[in-house]
Chain A
Amino acid sequence: MTQLSQSNSETFAAASLAAKSGTEVRLEGVTKDFGLAKPAVDDITLRIEPGEFMTLLGPSGSGKTTTLNLIAGFEVLTKGQVLLNGQDVGALPPHKRNLGMLFQNYALFPHMSVYDNVAYPLRERKTAKDEIQRRVGEVLELVQLVGRDKHLPKQLSGGQQQRVALARAIVFNPKVLLLDEPLGALDRNLRGALQLEIRRIHREVGSTFVFVTHDQDEAMNLSDRIALFNEGEIEQVGAPEELYARPETLFTAKFLGDSNVFHLGKVSPIDNAVAWEDERWAVDANTVSPKVASDRGSALVVRPEGVSVSKNRSEVPPDANAVKATILDIEYLGSYRTLVLALGDARLNGRARIDAQSSDFSLGEEVVAWWRPYRQRLVAE
């Protein structure tokens, strides 16, 4: 075994890190009350699978960072339990939870070299010197920073600093890696590169990643599943595709991607048609969110890529739902064009995506926007 690892150290670097793979993280009724009008985190229950890449997504102030701090132990629970592999860690101080963490501002120790930063968690665990040397070497290779070990953090670029922080956070095989908007301070190109890096490292080390961000694209790109936060509660949990294609609430639909939104007021979830202004639209039972209830407002949402535009009603297929529209603007985005529309008498703001080559439409033109019922979604407000 030892001989093998020496002869083929690269494969084994990944293998030895992956060996201690994922821990299950469970939040049971987790609540944090700072004494404000509403608890910052309000009775959250969430199970994160071993080895899963879970993103806590939400606008600022939605409680996602507080939840992460509760898992890390930087905040004390008001109520509820945080369980790691079934063990309640609520009473453990942060340094005994064995969780790695990445911070937005990297939080590298400025007075220590790259090597000393990465060796820090191993030294705190009284690891033998040659073992430290071996593992720091492995992990610096993993984040592609070989040969920089004597540099001080300030001699590195932002992207490199975050790689060092990543190496430091995984070198001790933590049960879970917590990432608190780690790419927020980087420019767009670097962010893309580091997203790839984080995905690759997640695959290679196989531990559970809990990632906090307010950037929907980042969340969609990285995650196995997303927990969408809104005002201290979880609005919806699911794979990125699920959240995008099958939002349960208007908040989810609007937070992830663009939507055309028609507010309907109270509707019954079992109706097979809804009315909006003078239009009557067919509803497919498959597209009704389970949260729609007759005592609660509902909205019909359609993604821009589901909407087609025709010159007049006669061109609209008979089974499609349609609404009259005026073209306010035409945006050219390289691979496609977006028509900015005013929908119906209310002149609601809407969007339709059309072929980039199309030059059929002109500004101010009166048209008909339409979509197949399966492209729409009836959600709760």
Chain B
Amino acid sequence: MAATLGETRTAQAAPPKKLKIKPVDAIPLWLRTLAAIVGVYFILPTFIVIPMGFGGATTTFKFPPEEFSVKLFENFFTNPAWIGSLGKSALVGVLAALVASTFGTAAAVGLHFLPGRLPTLVRTLLMIPLVTPSIILAVSIYVSFLQWHLTGSLPGYVVAHAAIGLPYVLVSVTAALSSFDSTLLRASASLGASPWRSFVTVTAPLISKGIGTGALFAFVTSFDEVVIALYLRSPMFQTLPVQMYNSVTVEIDSTIAASSSLMVIIVSLILFIPQFARAKKTS
């Protein structure tokens, strides 16, 4: 029995043998070259910071670096201002992603099952933080948070960053729901599951990829957000991007090269998570 089971599984997973057929209109070489150049143009500047991070502990930025050392990384991990702000950024990012994915998922699911035109309108409204210039958002958040005494505090950062992360969750969960068969909810109801139980046992598992993707984007958005963070900062509470900003404008501290490399690596890794998850499932 176990053998037959295994056989059917592999038979299903293995793709049918592909014949090697040369496509008639293959992508021409010049187009491939152009695409490669454009790709490099967009990505390269980001990765220049990595070798710079391994440069000497001088106060000037030079590319290519004249020496190789890990001094800047050492600085980063020993200086409480740097490592502390990394911790705060991570904490704010995780909490903001949690809040954004909770409310974003609730909104997406609710709007998905509402009839009529209202959902489209509300969805557009919720997307506004995506298209509003950050400075306008930052000022309005700052003004209102001043009255509510939320500036310079963890809750303040979390609420503000959750608001700008929510649209990402909304988009990815709405996309996941488009392939969700709502008959399943009738089935679960007929089988005795309350609406909440149906959500937990049926809807949530089936849209989990959308929720996860949205949460990652919300985290990354919060993690590298600088404009709102600048307004909300206090001497006691500074996120990593604010610390980086300070390090060039106030202190001229080249540790920023190391922290930039770290940031690029962390963010890239996070955005690759869904790719890896998918690859693992299909293999």
B183, B192, B194, most chain A CB atoms within 10 A = B192
Judged by a CB distance under 8 angstroms, whether B5 is at the interface is: yes
Contact A147 B191 (CB under 8 A): no
Contact B187 A125 (CB under 8 A): no
* Alpha-carbon distance between A172 and B87 when the two chains are bound, in angstroms: 52
- What chain A residues lie within 8 Å of B186 (beta carbons)? 72, 74, 94, 101, 103, 107
Contact A111 B205 (CB under 8 A): yes
Contact B206 A155 (CB under 8 A): no
Tell me the chain A residues, 48-78 only, with Cβ under 8 Å from chain B. Answer: 72-74
* Alpha-carbon distance between A103 and B190 when the two chains are bound, in angstroms: 11
Main secondary structure of the interface of B (DSSP, over half): helix
> Quick one: given A72-B190, A101-B190, A105-B181, are A111 and B206 in contact (CB under 8 Å)?
yes
Judged by a CB distance under 8 angstroms, whether B127 is at the interface is: no
- What chain A residues lie within 8 Å of B12 (beta carbons)? 155
Contact pick for A105, options B183, B189, B191, B201, CB 8 Å: B183
Judged by a CB distance under 8 angstroms, whether B31 is at the interface is: no
> What residue of chain B has the Cβ atom nearest to residue A123's Cβ?
B201
- The total of chain A residues at the interface (CB under 8 A) is 30
- The total of chain B residues at the interface (CB under 8 A) is 23
Interface 1/0 per residue, A135-146 and B, CB below 8 Å: 000000000000
Contact B206 A107 (CB under 8 A): no
* Alpha-carbon distance between A110 and B207 when the two chains are bound, in angstroms: 12
Contact A103 B8 (CB under 8 A): no
- What chain B residues lie within 8 Å of A94 (beta carbons)? 186, 189-190
> What residue of chain B has the Cβ atom nearest to residue A104's Cβ?
B183
* Alpha-carbon distance between A20 and B187 when the two chains are bound, in angstroms: 22
Judged by a CB distance under 8 angstroms, whether A188 is at the interface is: no
> Quick one: given A124-B197, A155-B12, are A93 and B188 in contact (CB under 8 Å)?
no
- What chain B residues lie within 8 Å of A95 (beta carbons)? 188-195, 198
Contact A124 B192 (CB under 8 A): yes
Contact B192 A107 (CB under 8 A): no
Contact pick for A147, options B1, B189, B193, CB 8 Å: B1
> Quick one: given A111-B205, A124-B197, are A98 and B192 in contact (CB under 8 Å)?
yes
Contact A121 B183 (CB under 8 A): no
Judged by a CB distance under 8 angstroms, whether A292 is at the interface is: no
Tell me the chain B residues, 169-190 only, with Cβ under 8 Å from chain A. Answer: 181, 183-184, 186-190
Judged by a CB distance under 8 angstroms, whether B202 is at the interface is: yes
Least Cβ–Cβ distance between A153 and chain B, in angstroms: 11
Interface 1/0 per residue, B151-170 and A, CB below 8 Å: 00000000000000000000
- What chain B residues lie within 8 Å of A101 (beta carbons)? 186-187, 190
Known A73-B189, A109-B188, A150-B5; 16 more pairs at CB < 8 Å: A72-B186, A74-B186, A74-B189, A93-B194, A95-B189, A95-B194, A100-B190, A101-B186, A101-B187, A107-B183, A107-B186, A111-B205, A124-B191, A124-B192, A124-B197, A168-B191
Instruction: Give 6 nearest A-B pairs by CB, closest first.
Output: A101-B190, A107-B187, A121-B191, A94-B189, A124-B192, A107-B183
Can you show 8 pairs from A to B with CB atoms below 8 A apart?
A: A95-B188, A95-B189, A95-B191, A111-B206, A120-B188, A125-B192, A147-B1, A150-B5
